[in-house]
């Protein structure tokens, strides 16, 4: 209501061009007011955020894109329970480009409206090849069937539109969805009853994480032609690529519901050979370098022993990102999350409302801070905030409560289209 009144006052007796300029200024000011930033005295050079909101970026003068660090979190939905005027339903995108490999994007949760959020951000559908669902509640799941239908359509027509939409000689990648048992049945039922045509040439793989009750449950729903059930895996390591490892652990949310937190960690790079030092020791580039990179000492033909510690050094430290779904107790995830660079944790309510939060299986801002402190994390992003916390005063209170229990100042209030780059080698503060 206040927004409508403000717009009317701005528009009276103004030409169309002037009206558009006033609307743009008002919306930009409103965005900045509702997304408070840390005061200068508490900012750290190693932790910063920037917006990828297309409306703000297109109208902000001298907009400068931040340097690409190879790992970046983008919040596409930070609301609790469903979309609101200011926040979309839950979704976090993790953009990866480690070790110089081709870039890829992974989504964590896929709430209502995720497809449009992706289209409104710099993230490309073509780069998304994995989606992880923390639990089977609607606000984390209802956007997935529509997203898969859109993806299948793009995959089917990639030969027609790949040059126009993707700007390269390939269409969307193969897509795999991970989530609790029951996810495959849900997707088959939804796609079948909504009459989404099966497309075997654009099939999506579904990998389910074994439930706490039965690890070998067979799918009950009639299969859909666009989905392939790729089996059931136990909690722990569920994805291993040449550059990243994804692990999960079961956390506490609601009785009778399996919920998971995910940890994404880079694969450690081999040690870096100091070429000049190696030459002084009598080594030339060749197969022996591989032994040195593995930390093994080598013996030259004259019997000289060259120690790996003398001619090599540790490479950049692998980064670790932790994404916690809805929970009131995520202590089972702490061993996997130890020494994380950044933790994304829900903060549905304030500390004073801990009884209400516990009753519904959610966390307070202080609870999020305590988890990050136990995990010895270097930074914390608060998300999944209740719509009752819409004012700057309420949001600042959430951040201060999280800082107090975390014991660090590196706490960021998540907002839609907020990007957080993680520097190479991780945070140093």
Q: What is the mean pLDDT of residues 321-349?
A: 94
Give me 294's structure tokens. 């593995």
**Beta carbons of 317 and 336 less than 8 angstroms apart:** no
Give me 367's structure tokens. 């609870």
Find residue 28's DSSP bridge partners. Answer: none
- 59 has a pLDDT exceeding 50: yes
Q: What sign does the CA torsion over 43, 45, 49, 52 have?
A: positive
Q: Are residues 263 and 286 in the same domain?
A: no
Residue of higher predicted confidence among 214 and 82: 82
Q: What is the mean pLDDT of residues 187-214?
A: 84
- The least confident of 178-187, 283-292, 371-380, 404-413 is 283-292
Q: Are residues 284 and 235 in the same domain?
A: no
Where residue 52 falls among pLDDT bands split at 50, 70, 90?
confident
At 142 the pLDDT is 94
Q: What percent of the chain has pLDDT over 90?
A: 42
Q: What is the mean pLDDT of residues 12-22?
A: 50
Q: Are residues 147 and 249 in the same domain?
A: yes
Cα gap 394→316, rounded to integer Å: 39
Give the pairing type, strands 259-266 and 244-251: antiparallel
- Cα within 13 Å of Cα(34), Cβ side: 17
Residue of higher predicted confidence among 34 and 135: 135
At 167 the pLDDT is 45
- Quick check: is 95 in a domain? yes
Helices assigned H by DSSP within 139-213: 144-156, 158-161, 183-193
- 5 has a pLDDT exceeding 70: no
Q: Are residues 391 and 306 in the same domain?
A: no
DSSP code string of 147-167: HHHHHHHHHHTHHHHIIIIIS
At 97 the pLDDT is 78
First to last CA, the chain: 43
Find residue 313's DSSP bridge partners. Answer: 272
Cα gap 54→420, rounded to integer Å: 16
Q: Are residues 155 and 202 in the same domain?
A: yes
- The least confident of 97-111, 131-145, 309-323, 328-342 is 97-111
User: Would you give the DSSP letter of residue 48?
Assistant: -
- The least confident of 1-5, 94-98, 291-295 is 1-5
Give me 206's structure tokens. 């579904």
H/E element holding 229?
strand 227-233
- Quick check: is 42 in a domain? no
Q: Which domain holds residue 279?
A: 272-313
pLDDT tens per residue across span 378-415 = 999 999 988 887 778 888 999 999 999 999 999 999 99
- 206 has a pLDDT exceeding 70: yes
Q: Are residues 414 and 289 in the same domain?
A: no
Boundary residue ending a domain (313, 343, 378): 313
Domain count, the chain: 2
Report the phi/psi class of residue 98: left, alpha or beta, with left for phi > 0 and alpha for psi in -120 to 50.
beta
Residue of higher predicted confidence among 356 and 56: 356
Q: Are residues 251 and 284 in the same domain?
A: no
- Quick check: is 13 in a domain? no
Cα gap 414→80, rounded to integer Å: 12
- Quick check: is 58 in a domain? no
Across the chain, what does the average pLDDT equal? 80
CA 376, distance to chain mean position in Å, is: 19
pLDDT tens per residue across span 133-170 = 999 999 999 999 999 988 887 776 655 544 444 444 45
Q: Is 5 exposed, middle or buried (0-12, 13-18, 19+ CB in 10 A)?
A: exposed
Q: CB within 8 A of 363, min separation 6: which ones? A: 327, 328, 330, 345, 346, 347, 348, 357, 371
Say how many C-beta atoms besides its own lie within 10 A of residue 317's C-beta. 16
| 13-17, 170-174, 348-352: which is most confident | 348-352
Residues constituting the chain: 429
- Quick check: is 94 in a domain? yes
Q: CB within 8 A of 362, min separation 6: which ones? A: 80, 326, 327, 328, 346, 348, 349, 384
At 313 the pLDDT is 75
Cα gap 406→310, rounded to integer Å: 39
At 49 the pLDDT is 78
Q: Are residues 360 and 259 in the same domain?
A: yes
- Quick check: is 295 in a domain? yes
Catalytic residue selected from 109, 139, 185, 341: 139
Q: Are residues 235 and 186 in the same domain?
A: yes
Say how many C-beta atoms besides its own lie within 10 A of residue 260's C-beta. 27
- 86 has a pLDDT exceeding 60: yes
Q: Are residues 145 and 286 in the same domain?
A: no
Q: What share of the chain is helix, strand, coil (3-state, %, to 5)?
A: 35, 25, 40
Boundary residue ending a domain (260, 287, 313): 313
| Helices and strands in the chain: count of H runs, count of E runs | 14, 20
At 416 the pLDDT is 92
- Quick check: is 79 in a domain? yes
> Which one, of 189, 228, 236, lies nearest residue 209 by Cα?
236
- 128 has a pLDDT exceeding 50: yes
- 301 has a pLDDT exceeding 50: yes
Q: Are residues 251 and 343 in the same domain?
A: yes
Residue of higher predicted confidence among 380 and 296: 380
Boundary residue ending a domain (283, 313, 343): 313
Where residue 103 falls among pLDDT bands split at 50, 70, 90?
confident
At 37 the pLDDT is 44
Tell me the pTM. Answer: 0.80
Give me 336's structure tokens. 């996997």
Q: What is the CATH number of the domain that holds 376?
A: 3.60.15.10
Residue of higher predicted confidence among 35 and 342: 342
Where residue 289 falls among pLDDT bands split at 50, 70, 90?
confident
Residue of higher predicted confidence among 5 and 175: 175
- 217 has a pLDDT exceeding 80: no
**Beta carbons of 53 and 412 less than 8 angstroms apart:** no
Q: Are residues 152 and 179 in the same domain?
A: yes
Is residue 139 flagged as an active site residue? yes
Cα gap 56→69, rounded to integer Å: 22
């Amino acid at each position: 209501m206040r927004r409508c009144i403000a717009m009317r006052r701005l528009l009276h007796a103004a030409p169309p061009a002037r009206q558009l300029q006033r609307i743009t200024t008002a919306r930009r000011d409103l965005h900045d007011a509702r997304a408070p930033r840390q005061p200068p005295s508490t900012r750290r050079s190693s932790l910063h955020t920037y917006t990828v909101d297309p409306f703000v970026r297109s109208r902000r003068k001298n907009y400068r894109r931040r340097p690409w660090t190879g790992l970046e979190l983008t919040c596409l939905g930070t609301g609790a329970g469903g979309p609101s005027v200011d926040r979309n339903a839950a979704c976090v995108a993790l953009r990866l480009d480690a070790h110089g490999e081709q870039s890829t994007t992974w989504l964590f949760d896929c709430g209502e409206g995720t497809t449009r959020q992706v289209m409104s951000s710099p993230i490309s559908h073509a780069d998304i090849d994995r989606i992880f669902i923390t639990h089977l509640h609607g606000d984390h799941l209802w956007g997935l069937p529509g997203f898969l239908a859109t993806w299948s359509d793009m995959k089917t027509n990639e030969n027609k539109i790949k040059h126009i939409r993707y700007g390269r000689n390939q269409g969307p990648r193969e897509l795999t969805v991970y989530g609790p048992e029951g996810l495959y049945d849900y997707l088959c039922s939804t796609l079948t009853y909504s009459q989404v045509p099966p497309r075997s040439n654009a099939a999506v793989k579904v990998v389910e994480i074994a439930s706490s009750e039965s690890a070998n449950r067979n799918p009950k729903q009639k299969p859909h032609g666009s989905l392939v059930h790729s089996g059931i895996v136990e909690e722990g390591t569920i994805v291993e690529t040449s550059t990243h490892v994804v692990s999960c652990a079961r956390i506490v949310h609601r009785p009778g519901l399996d919920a998971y937190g995910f940890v994404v960690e880079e694969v450690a790079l081999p040690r870096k050979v100091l070429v000049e030092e190696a030459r002084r020791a009598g080594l030339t580039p060749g197969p022996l370098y591989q032994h040195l990179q593995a930390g093994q000492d080598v013996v030259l033909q004259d019997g000289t022993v060259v120690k790996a510690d003398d001619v090599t050094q540790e490479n950049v430290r692998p980064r670790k990102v932790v994404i916690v779904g809805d929970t009131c107790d995520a202590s089972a995830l702490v061993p996997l999350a130890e020494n994380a660079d950044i933790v994304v944790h829900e903060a549905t309510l304030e500390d004073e409302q801990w009884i209400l939060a516990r009753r519904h299986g959610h966390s307070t801002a202080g609870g999020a801070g305590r988890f990050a402190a136990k995990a010895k994390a270097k930074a914390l992003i608060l998300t999944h905030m209740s719509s009752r916390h819409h004012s700057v005063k309420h949001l600042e209170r959430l951040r201060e409560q999280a800082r107090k229990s975390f014991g660090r100042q590196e706490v960021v209030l998540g907002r839609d289209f907020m990007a957080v780059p993680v520097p190479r080698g991780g945070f140093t503060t």
